[in-house]
Amino acid sequence: MPGYDPGRPDNPVLRWVSYIQDGVLLQRLQLRWNYIAGDIRRARWKLLKERRQFQDIHLQPGVRMRLFLDSEVSYGIYAKNFEMRERLFHNAFLRAGDIYLDVGANIGLFTLIAAHKVGNDGHVYAFEPTSISFQRLLTNIRLNQFSNVSPFQIALSDAPGQVSMQVSLDGYDGRNSLTSPTAGEKFIPEMVSALTLDQFIQDQHLAKKITMIKIDVEGWETHVLTGGQGILSSAEAPILQIEFSEEARASAGSTSEELYRMLTGLGYRLFSFEAEAGALAPVSPSQVKNGHLNVIATKDPTLITRRLEGS
């Protein structure tokens, strides 16, 4: 948070001097402004809900986004700097020509950022199985007139077929899940089609072409990894951004420690993105046991470092 920065001096003046010395002042100012602006936006959101069903915003330069006033995810984006560090990583890491997969795209936050960054020479494949969120994803793709996005209304899992998904009726669209939802009171089942990651890559002829995959599937992460062991166990495996949520993992009958072991067993090394420094920091098993953390998993940290440094 803006007033807490581990490893920095407690004295506010000395803390800001240290930001200047380390060359991270601009990044820190940006993060601090994001929090201040969030307070203003939280108040404005309440007014918007009384007047309309959606609000179009400029998410960042070159990207517009339609937010929906009945959506927890939209509220987080508009008023709470939802996954800002992860957004900063995408903007710093992705390059023109990259191939990107968004597994659990929801209404399209990372799909839109990635589509803008990879350009017409790259491509984004977005997966969102639930009907309402998928239609909203399509709306956001059209809003930006992106022609480099292929959306799929399917879930990725450990086997092909039909699976039942719990879909929120009271605004918790970010908690729609193939297991027990972690928030909300009203859900209905929706049958959705499932495919494995390996089968999709084979069908689309994407072997050795994918740069990055984002996986955020509310506790179903190990199933996605199981269905992608062919590509993910290879030396050319793509970089992953994958969600660790102990609450969601427990609802799926698993643990974050199990997910950590599975990734390291595939040969991945796990990092967090330190936005203030614009660099990676190693993630230990103890760090993923509690709470929520989006981890960057890679077999080649030097590739990420070179990109973050602009080379």
Domain 83-308 class, CATH top level: alpha beta
**CB-count burial class (<10 Å; 0-12, 13-18, 19+) for 244:** buried
Nearest-angstrom CA–CA distance, 38 and 73: 14
What six digits make up the tokens of 207? 């072997």
Place of tokens 């994803």: 137
What six digits make up the tokens of 250? 């427990």
Where exactly are the structural domains of the chain? 83-308
**CB-count burial class (<10 Å; 0-12, 13-18, 19+) for 263:** buried
pLDDT of residue 286: 86
H-helix segments, 23-173: 25-49, 72-79, 84-93, 109-118, 131-143
**CB-count burial class (<10 Å; 0-12, 13-18, 19+) for 173:** buried
pLDDT per residue rounded down to tens, the chain (311 residues): 444 454 555 566 666 666 665 666 766 676 666 667 767 777 788 788 778 889 999 999 999 999 999 999 999 999 888 999 999 999 999 999 999 999 999 999 999 999 999 999 999 999 999 999 999 999 999 999 999 999 999 999 999 999 998 888 776 777 787 777 666 678 888 999 999 999 999 999 999 999 999 999 988 899 999 999 999 999 999 999 999 877 766 676 778 889 999 999 999 999 999 988 889 999 998 888 877 889 999 999 999 999 998 85
What six digits make up the tokens of 304? 């990420």
pLDDT of residue 166: 85
What six digits make up the tokens of 153? 């209304």
